[in-house]
Amino acid sequence: MPQGEENLVPAPLYGLLRGLLDNLKRGEAVTVLPHAALLTTQQAADFLNISRPYVVTLLERGELPYRKVGTHRRVLFKDLLAYQGRSRIARAAALDELTAEAQELKLGY
């Protein structure tokens, strides 16, 4: 780029890049994946911070879609993100229910 030339970066992209650079500056690992990336069951487990056998259980229950590549299961990153979102909503609902029950029973919450 010639000196003095200015290129504007859209605000959402700037925020994303700044966040990535902040993570790198703190020495944290950063991974950028397209939503169409196929992940191994171990990569999916690492992303969700759960065990690989539990990921396999989720696949077998049909809670997380997958496809076979040869004899190996692969998970689309976008499906992993969707599952993660559903899990967060379910956990929040369960916590709300427990909190309401504790308040109803006057347990001091």
Q: Where are the domains of the chain?
A: 34-104
Q: How confident is the model at residue 107, as a pLDDT?
A: 84
Can you say whether the dihedral through the CA atoms of 96, 50, 38, 62 is positive or negative? Answer: negative
Rg of the chain's alpha carbons, rounded to an integer?
A: 20
CB proximity list for 17: less than 8 A, separation 6 or greater? 9
pLDDT along the chain (109 residues), means of 10: 79 91 92 92 96 98 96 97 96 93 84
Q: How confident is the model at residue 2, as a pLDDT?
A: 67
Under 8 Å between Cβ of 76 and 37: yes
Q: Which helix (H) or strand (E) holds 68?
A: strand 67-69
Backbone phi, psi, residue 105, to 5°? -85, 5
Write down the pTM of the prediction: 0.71
Q: How confident is the model at residue 92, as a pLDDT?
A: 95
Q: Which two tokens stand for residue 70?
A: 């040869």
Q: How confident is the model at residue 84, as a pLDDT?
A: 96
Q: Quickly name the fold that domain 34-104 has.
A: Multidrug-efflux Transporter Regulator; Chain: A; Domain 2 (1.10.1660)
Q: How confident is the model at residue 58, as a pLDDT?
A: 98
Percentages helix, strand, coil for the chain (3-state, rounded to 5) are 55, 10, 35
